[in-house]
């Protein structure tokens, strides 16, 4: 089976498609954030400062943080890495079961990150944005606002994930602007991902 994409426009379509979308879970998200209708939880040390975390381990924290703050969750997602175009960090296809992250971007960030804490936080920032899309925050602006709000409530205002989710990653890490872009010609499935959702299976 061909898991690549025929051209860049296919990837763009998947990344920005808004077809056949029902009402988002929180259409008045800005008002709820402004009125602080979500709880404050402090878990600053959950993301490791001393070692690289697996995608699965980071995603477990993503799900935990989103559920704690918003009450929403979903299971059964997969993760794949692909050589996506420059400027595209990841995408989730509406109605799909896979988050696809930019392999080129991740490899570049491995070299740019000052430490494991910063790298782990970078992965968290990308995953939480796409995860929020998958649970119903379809609007790009809502997903960005909620990403920042979840991290600020869960980790605190000064945590790297909160800082990263408050701005454009390419502005925070300008070196990423110069990495080469891909064409989606390959896709590598991460076999161990969202394992807490399937751990009950014998």
Residue 186 CB-half CA count within 13 A = 6
Rounded CA-CA distance 103/93 in Å is 17
pLDDT at 31: 52
Q: Could you tell me which residues come within 8 angstroms of residue 56 by beta carbon, excluding any fewer than 6 positions away?
A: 190, 192, 193, 194, 195
- Per-residue CA distances from 13 to 10, 24, 25, 108, 166 (Å): 5, 20, 22, 24, 25
Which H or E run includes 114? none
Average confidence (pLDDT) per 10 residues, the chain, 202 residues? 42 33 46 54 69 96 94 94 94 92 97 96 96 93 94 92 94 94 95 79 41
Give the pLDDT confidence score for residue 42 in this predicted structure.
Answer: 55
pLDDT at residue number 198: 61
Order of strands, edge to edge, in the sheet holding 90-92? Answer: 90-92, 98-102, 78-82, 187-190
| pLDDT given at position 147 | 95
Q: How long, in residues, is the chain?
A: 202
**Which element (helix H / strand E) includes 100?**
strand 98-102
Q: SS3 for 133-199, per residue?
A: HHCCCCCHHHHHHHHHHHHHHHCCCCCHHHHHHCCCHHHHCHHHHHCCCCCCCCEEEECCCCHHHCC
């Amino acid at each position: 089976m061909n898991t690549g994409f025929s051209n860049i426009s296919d990837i763009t379509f998947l990344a920005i498609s808004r077809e056949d979308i029902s009402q988002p879970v929180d259409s008045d998200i800005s008002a709820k954030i402004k009125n602080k209708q979500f709880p404050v939880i402090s878990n600053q040390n959950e993301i490791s400062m001393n070692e690289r975390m697996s995608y699965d381990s980071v995603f477990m924290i993503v799900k935990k943080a989103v559920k704690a703050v918003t009450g929403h969750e979903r299971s059964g997602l997969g993760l794949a890495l692909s050589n996506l175009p420059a400027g595209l960090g990841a995408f989730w296809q509406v109605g799909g079961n896979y988050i696809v992250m930019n392999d080129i971007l991740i490899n570049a960030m491995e070299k740019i990150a000052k430490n494991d804490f910063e790298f782990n936080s970078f992965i968290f920032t990308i995953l939480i944005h796409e995860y929020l899309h998958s649970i119903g925050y379809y609007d790009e602006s809502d997903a960005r606002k909620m990403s920042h709000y979840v991290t600020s409530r869960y980790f605190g205002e000064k945590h790297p994930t909160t800082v990263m989710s408050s701005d454009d990653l390419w502005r925070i890490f300008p070196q990423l602007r110069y990495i080469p872009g891909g064409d989606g010609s390959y896709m590598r499935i991460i076999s161990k991902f969202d394992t807490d959702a399937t751990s009950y299976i014998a």
